[in-house]
Chains A and B, each alone.
Chain A
Amino acid sequence: GQSLEQPSEVTAVEGAIVQINCTYQTSGFYGLSWYQQHDGGAPTFLSYNALDGLEETGRFSSFLSRSDSYGYLLLQELQMKDSASYFCAVRDEAGFQKLVFGTGTRLLVSP
């Protein structure tokens, strides 16, 4: 079966850098996605890695190593508004446009 593992919680201070890791198990891999969800809000798409390497989008970067079945989300210059839950996701093994989500990492940014 498929599974994704993320730390349940990460804490950091404003201005710092934090890395949220995700390891996955899946028989058919199409890429790793990241979503952000603020308390009471809906998940919003952050990034998608289909190939190995680093993808940068402003303060956020996402990395993928397919050989290690591992990826991470890197948040730089942390701001209070980055306090949220972050979910990694992979496509369902059947290959259709269904995503399987990890249980999420709660990031708490303190002053």
Chain B
Amino acid sequence: NAGVTQTPKFQVLKTGQSMTLQCAQDMNHNSMYWYRQDPGMGLRLIYYSASEGTTDKGEVPNGYNVSRLNKREFSLRLESAAPSQTSVYFCATHRVPETQYFGPGTRLLVL
């Protein structure tokens, strides 16, 4: 089992470009999450999805959109990238009662 996978691993964008970060899980978990982590910081929640067909904003949703395509896949879209969105992005799933499983991350640099 692959667990949680993310693509791409690395990406460089120019300001104003758009891109979609992909996440897929094979653990059959209902809940999925997108976090960002900035240097020396903890994880901040961007969006989450409690189940297929539902999404909701987290702590830092501005500048992002998400799609829960099916139970396995949860994508994060940057419509017009800004340097402030330079970060490491992690996708995660949740297993009750309280365990989250993280993907390997996408390192994004916006110039």
Contact = CB atoms under 8 A, between A and B. Distances in A.
Nearest to A44: B102
Interface stretch (A10-18, A56-64, A68-76, A92-100): A92-100
B42 A102 contact: yes
Query: How many interface residues does chain B have, given as a range?
Result: 20 to 34
Interface of A: 30-31, 33, 35, 41-45, 48, 50, 87, 91, 96-104
A103 B45 CA distance: 13
B104 interface: yes
A99 B97 contact: no
Contact of B42 (A87, A91, A97, A98): A87
A97 B43 contact: no
Contacts of B104: 41-42
A97 B101 contact: no
Given A31-B97, A45-B100, A98-B33, A103 B42 contact: yes
A97 B44 CA distance: 14
Interface of B: 31, 33, 40-45, 48, 50, 58, 90, 94, 96-105
Contact of A48 (B31, B50, B97): B97
Contacts of A31: 97-98
B100 A99 contact: yes
Contact of B41 (A33, A42, A103): A103
A101 B42 CA distance: 6
A97 B101 CA distance: 13
Contacts of B42: 87, 101-104
